[in-house]
Amino acid sequence: MKISLVAYRDTSTVMYNLWRAFQRFTSHEVYFMNTSRVPKWNVYRTPLGKPINEDIIKSSDFVITKHIGILKNKFLLQHTDLFILGRRDHTHSEQFNQIKQCDFGHLMTTQPDFAFKSGITWMPSPTRLYDMVEKYGSVEKLYPPQILCQPTNFDLPVHAIRDFDFIISRLSNLEGRFQTALFHHETQEMAIARKARASIFFDRIWSAYGMNSKEAGALGCAVVTGVSDVFLRGLESEGFPCGFVNVDNKREATTEIRKMIVDEDYRVEVANNSFRHVKEAYNGEISVKRVLEVCD
């Protein structure tokens, strides 16, 4: 089978990672293309892919696209067989209505909460778990343990940064027992390399976790993040209970991170749970199987 994966910027690397998963788990002929270059202010998700090749798309058995920006391209609208909904595609009703009006052959969503509520099939956002483990699995963690914050949402990183500043200010009595790092707007490889050396990863509280938390979990970090109740129910309904530490506010996050600093066994336990969660739900194989079920 010949499959084309067409992304629009792909700032979350979902489509790029799905392409890598197809390469690892199948023998299908799969192409990854990107309709738009990543803007300069958001260079973190670097894999750009090849530009649109209309001949390849026309000759493909199945064409998969993602992101509302695709709707600007009449050629892709005509040839898309499966549209993958991201968070913004369904949280904004106007965008979602546009997508529904396109009458794509199939819809999937990367969000378990939306799948749980709507009945649309969930495609877990795949990580490049095995690639990362092969390259960084033997990298030693920093000592004292590093608490790393890399906000997933680059449009609104200020929320996570303010929460992180609050957390660290409340840990002043543990000075010397940990170190901190706060980064965003980095290249993908730089960001992944930093996660490989960190021990505790803080993503954000105000929204469900994203690709940064998944990558951190894959690289052995104890992940602390916020997850809504409906997101948790969606994961559980799919058989993948969340392994990250879920916090509702910055005080809870402070308590959890403090415990991880003073109790190494607890930190290792959370890190193991975080890795398990990524390996079970986001290793790429499940995503490929669910897409192939639609393709077939």
CA atoms within 13 A on the CB side of 265: 0
- Give the DSSP H/E element, type plus range, for residue 73: none
Residue type, 208: A
Question: What's the CA gap between 275 and 137, in Å, rounded?
Answer: 12
Which amino acid does the sequence have at 290? Answer: R
Work out the average pLDDT over 256-268.
97
Domain covering 2-126+284-295: architecture = 3-Layer(aba) Sandwich (3.40)
Q: Which of 58-62, 211-215, 217-221 has the lowest mean pLDDT?
A: 211-215
Q: Higher-confidence residue: 153 or 241?
A: 241
- pLDDT > 90? residue 105: no
How far is the C-alpha of 220 from the C-alpha of 218, rounded, in Å? 6
Banded model confidence at residue 44, pLDDT cuts 50, 70, 90 = very low
Split at pLDDT 50, 70, 90, the class of 73 is confident
3-state secondary structure (DSSP) of residue 63? strand
pLDDT score at 157: 56
Q: Which three-class secondary structure state does DSSP give residue 103?
A: coil
Assess whether pLDDT exceeds 90 at residue 235: yes
* pLDDT tens figures, 150-205: 865 545 556 778 889 999 999 999 988 999 998 766 777 888 999 999 999 998 88
CA distance 295 to 3: 9
pLDDT score of 263: 97
Q: What would the pLDDT profile of 12-40 be if each residue is shown by its tens digit?
A: 789 999 999 999 999 999 999 987 655 44
CA distance 203 to 152: 7
- CA-based nearest residue to 186, from 166, 225, 157: 157
Our CA angle for 158, 113, 199, nearest 5°, is: 50
Superfamily for domain range 130-281: Glycogen Phosphorylase B; (3.40.50.2000)
Considering just the CA atoms, what is the radius of gyration of the chain in Å?
Answer: 19
Q: How far apart (Å, rounded) are the C-alpha atoms in residues 108 and 86?
A: 9
pLDDT score at 46 = 47
- Same fold flag, 2-126+284-295 and 130-281: yes
Q: What is the pLDDT of residue 50?
A: 73
Closest residue by Cα to residue 124 from 295, 292, 285: 285
pLDDT value at residue 162: 85
Q: What is the pLDDT of residue 42?
A: 45
Selection from 101, 130, 132, 95 nearest residue 114 by Cα: 95
The pTM assigned to this predicted structure is 0.90
Please give the average per-residue pLDDT across 117-124, as a whole number: 90
Model confidence at 92, pLDDT cuts 50, 70, 90, reads: low
Q: How far apart are the first and last CA of the chain?
A: 10
Q: Whole-number mean pLDDT of the chain?
A: 87
Alpha-carbon dihedral of residues 136, 20, 234, 224, nearest 10 degrees?
20
Q: Is 55 exposed, middle or buried (0-12, 13-18, 19+ CB in 10 A)?
A: exposed
Q: Please check the confidence at residue 128 and state whether its pLDDT lies above 60.
A: yes
Domains of the chain, residue spans:
2-126+284-295, 130-281
CA 131 to CA 88: how far, in whole Å? Answer: 28
